Structure 1
Amino acid sequence: MFYRKYVPALHLRPYVECFYVWECSEILTTQLPIESPPNGFASMVFNYGNPYRVVSQKLNGGIAPKTFLTGQATKSYHLHLSGKIGMVGIVFRPAGLCSLFGLPMYEFSDERINLRDVLGKNIDELYDKIEEAASCDERIVLLEQFLNFQFLRKIPTPDAIDYAANLIVDEKGIFNINELIDEVCMSRRQLERKFLQKVGVSPKYYARIRRVGFLCNVLAQQGWQIKDWQDLIYQSGYYDQSHFIKEFTEFMGKNPSFYVKNNSELARYLK
């Protein structure tokens, strides 16, 4: 299994977290189930492998389009893959899709929307080039060229919502809403309205998504090697163990111990 991230060019970094490639040299003869927590990032995905199914609170085992846009995931979701795995994608900073494409992100939360329906039939030409490319690096170049063209069309400038959302990401979801309001010089109502438009959820809910997503990544990588759970819970912004377990179970549908037991290899596959 091969999963690699690529850092975007400097001018794209306020809007793009990374590009990625996910491939497998072998054909999977049995189904591979992958569970992913909500991670706080929207994405565009181009699948040149076999179709796969998605199970979430909105998508009950449906086939993902070969090119799709996904907004904020508000709960965990499952991918069921088999056959050939091959896909590339763009992972956007929380407000990046709206800043670059002007999309109302509240319409895309927990969805996988066919990119052709959002950006038009020209996306088919990009998909064909990605499918025919000779290497992973060539596919990433195609994605970056696609974004560069959109960047030059839009000439975006990061605004207060980009700043606020990126700050929540950088602080791993641990922030004070009143301090954030003062820092961006907005009323609470104005911040929430613009944040919903550009990110897809409210600032407080987004912070909860980011916090549990970051923590799941730590658990997937370290699992039972974690020596001081109390310190991890505290450093992740939870009041106490019961608060942590309640919050984790709400987003993941299972308690932390069960998650660690069954997801120790998650970090290999998904961000």
Structure 2
Amino acid sequence: MFYRKFPPPAHLQPFVECFYIWEYSKTLAKPLTVESPPSGFASIVFNYGTPYRVTSQKLNGGFVPKNFLTGQATKSYQLQLSGQIGMVGIVFRPAGLHTLFGMPMYEFSDERTNLRDVLGKCVDEYSDKIEEASSHGERLALLEQFVNVQFLRKNPVADRTDFAANLIVDKRGLININDVISELYVCRRQFERKFLQKVGVSPKYYTRIRRVGHLCNELAQKRWKIDDWQDLIYHYGYYDQSHFIKDFTEFIGKAPSLYVKNNAELANYLKN
């Protein structure tokens, strides 16, 4: 199993979190179900492996498009993989996809939307080249080119919404939205409307998504033990254990102890 993240060039860093390549060239001996918590990032994915299924609150285990755009995930979801794994992706900073491509992100929350339906026939050229590429370097270069073309066409500038959304990510969701609004000297109603347009969910809800997503990644990488629940609750700003369990279960669909014990989540493969 090969998975690796690659940082974007400096001019794309306000808008792109990373590029990634995920491959398993052998045929999986048996179908693999991998669960992922919401991460707080939108992405564009090109799949050159075996088609796979996704189950979520909106998707009922059907095959996802070969190349797709995904907005904010608001709940945990599962990938059902079989055959060979081969995909590359662009993970965007929370407002980056809108800033670069201008799409209303609230329309894409919890969805896997065919990329050709959104961006047109130009997707086919990149899809073919990515599939035909003979190295990871070639595929990475094609991803950068794909974003750079739009960057040069759009000449984007990160605005206050980008700044606020990126700050929520950097603070792992542990931030007071009222303080952010005061710091930016913006009207709350205008800020919330713009945030919904650019990120896909409300600012307050996004802090909760980012907090639980980062927490799940910490649990997946075994940085916390079950005996450390009280320290974890304090570290992530929950009022008490019942608040922590309620919030966790709302997003993940299971209690934290069951998640740690039984779950083969995506973070075991897609390490940060």
**TM-score (norm: length of structure 1):** 0.97
TM-superposed CA distance for 1:265, in Å, is: 5.9
CA distance in 2, matches of 1:200, 1:264: 27
- Give the letter aligned to residue 12 of structure 2: L
Structure 2: gaps of 5 or more residues: none
Calculate the aligned-residue CA RMSD, in Å: 1.2
The amino acid of 1:184's aligned partner reads: L
Q: Give the aligned partner of residue 244 of structure 1.
A: 244
In 1, the alpha carbon distance for the partners of 2:264 and 2:78 equals: 15
2:125 maps to 1:125: yes
> 1:219 touches 1:264 (CA, 8 Å); kept in 2?
no
Aligned twin of 1:258: 258
Aligned to 1:49: 49
Give 1:88's aligned amino acid: V
The alpha-carbon deviation at position 231 of structure 1 amounts to 1.4
Paired AA for residue 6 in structure 1:
F
Question: What is the match of residue 87 of structure 2?
Answer: 87
Aligned to 1:157: 157
**Partner letter of residue 203 of structure 1?**
P
Give the Cα separation in 2 of the matches to 1:224 and 1:7.
27
Secondary structure (helix, strand or coil) at the match of 1:89 reads strand
Compute the displacement of 1:196 (Å): 0.2
Q: 2:35 touches 2:265 (CA, 8 Å); kept in 1?
A: no
Q: Letter of the 1:153 partner, please give it.
A: R
* Post-superposition CA distance 1:136-170 (Å, at most 9, x none): 12101100011111101000011000000000000
Percent identical: 73
The answer for the alignment partner of 1:71 in structure 2 is: 71
C-alpha displacement at 1:249, in angstroms? Answer: 0.3
Cα contact 2:15–2:93 (8 A) shared by 1: yes
| TM-score (norm. length: structure 2) | 0.97
Instruction: Evaluate the alpha carbon distance shift between residue 113 and residue 253 of structure 1 in structure 2; reply closer, same or farther with a 3 A threshold.
Output: same
Aligned length, in residue pairs? 271
Pairwise CA distance, 1:233? 1.2
Q: Report what 2:140 is aligned to.
A: 140
Q: Secondary structure at the residue paired with 2:200?
A: coil
The answer to whether the 8 Å contact 1:223/1:260 transfers is no
8 Å Cα contact 2:224/2:232 also seen in 1: no
Aligned counterparts, 1:88-103, within 5 A: 88-103=88-103
Runs of 4+ with >3 A deviation? 223-227
